[in-house]
Structure 1
């Protein structure tokens, strides 16, 4: 699926939250290989972000990395930083693709979930994508695209993920409403729902624990857990011109997990 962005889309600009590692990094690199410039965000590791920027630029496109706190209160301040970066690096006042990717993992039974942790999941996984998208709407090009990230756990269930999956279910509802409201501007809005992926998410348990990896692989039709490249390729495909008639949809990339 790499390189699926058409020539008419090449040279456009994508903003990716959480681009310094995991699925965000993979999405950034796949889009870069397809000719899309990347503005990424990172939370704490500027070193990791700078390394990803170098990898992106090695693909022949421009990269900018901006600090961003997924628990932020002032989205206007980030919008101002983004506007400055757009003008300085690209001579533009707008960008084309918004990928709301940044997130945190959480695994605890409903009976053991603390109110503070539930509030944190809400702020990171629902409040921030909602308010960030709202703040950046004037800067998204008409005919552009917004892509939210949900989870396969919003469809199938695994013990301990009730709080996390509930937030992702809300993101899927948000996707449909945003698609309806932004449709008059030609902005398509969709939602990507990854299955189990071998990253450092949730402490890297799927990636680093062989027993867990094998157990989860046994639940997947294609017989393996996903890799970051599977999701990065999917992002590039969903933002391609070939998907220009799709909006308001949930697309799961899970290898057939929990069928």
Structure 2
């Protein structure tokens, strides 16, 4: 039987929750009665706005600053997390969404070691070691979602290092599911297609030509919106999907079918 943070409220930790898909996820979790602790990298104003948006939904959210690409800061983050959970009336949490990420659009021939190292630190090493650090605090019967990308299935020139890191995360997700299964913890991977956010400098959202091309090779005839992704993640975390485990689920509207 699952052990949860309280009889009525569950708690999620969402990395990169101040903007884009992370913020949308935090808000849709709030609509389902889930409180959140989310991380932000630098933009405190956006973090405050997310906290206020969650409060408007009748839930609670706490923003903690974290560079997910710097594992030397993870112990301090966990120290901060204890009082944050206590303020939500808990000592443990239920859901972990590894969402924080950075973009990269450089051909293989021009990618530098520093660029690839930075992607590795955020997209793989950070996910691996933050999850490791948080394992003692996640409730048995909890859920982990790692955010991947449609780019692991279809290839777009300039995205090789980024997509390769996301491919590694998809493999890691299956190992999470296998190794944490004894505790009743599920692990799944959500792979969004092109979404109109400020990711990649707002390329899909703000560039009409990119937007048009994405819509053309998407079966549903448009680019994705944050509201196409956040509710799906919130739903996947619910008990309705308790038997979904070790899966890659693409949420792309049917890109490049």
Tell me if TM exceeds 0.5.
Answer: yes
Residues 1:179 and 2:177 aligned together: yes
State the shift of 1:181 in Å. Answer: 0.3
Residue 66 of structure 1: aligned partner? 64
Q: TM-score, normalised to structure 2's length?
A: 0.96
Which structure 1 residue ranges, 5 or more long, are not aligned? Answer: 1-7
Q: For residues 254 and 90 of structure 2, what CA distance do their matches in structure 1 show?
A: 41
Q: Deviations over 1:17-55 (max 9, x none)?
A: 000000000000100011000111111011110111011
Q: Deviations over 1:132-161 (max 9, x none)?
A: 000000000000101000000000111110
State the shift of 1:10 in Å. Answer: 5.7
Residue 225 of structure 2: aligned partner? 227
Give the 3-state SS of the residue equivalent to 1:74 in structure 2: helix
Q: For residues 187 and 109 of structure 2, what CA distance do their matches in structure 1 show?
A: 35
State the shift of 1:9 in Å. Answer: 8.8
1:28 is matched with which residue: 26, 29, 39?
26
Residue 155 of structure 2: aligned partner? 157
Aligned residues: 251
1:133 is matched with which residue: 128, 131, 144?
131
Give the 3-state SS of the residue equivalent to 1:23 in structure 2: helix
Contact 1:12–1:36 (CA under 8 A) maintained in structure 2: yes
The structure-2 alpha-carbon separation of the partners of 1:9 and 1:171, relative to structure 1 and needing over 3 Å to count, comes to: farther
Residue 82 of structure 2: aligned partner? 83
CA-based RMSD: 1.2
Q: Which runs of 4+ in 1 moved over 4 A?
A: none
1:105 is matched with which residue: 83, 97, 103?
103
Q: TM-score, normalised to structure 1's length?
A: 0.95
Q: Deviations over 1:56-108 (max 9, x none)?
A: 01111111100111222231111111112111x12321000000000001101
Which structure 2 residue ranges, 5 or more long, are not aligned? Answer: 1-5
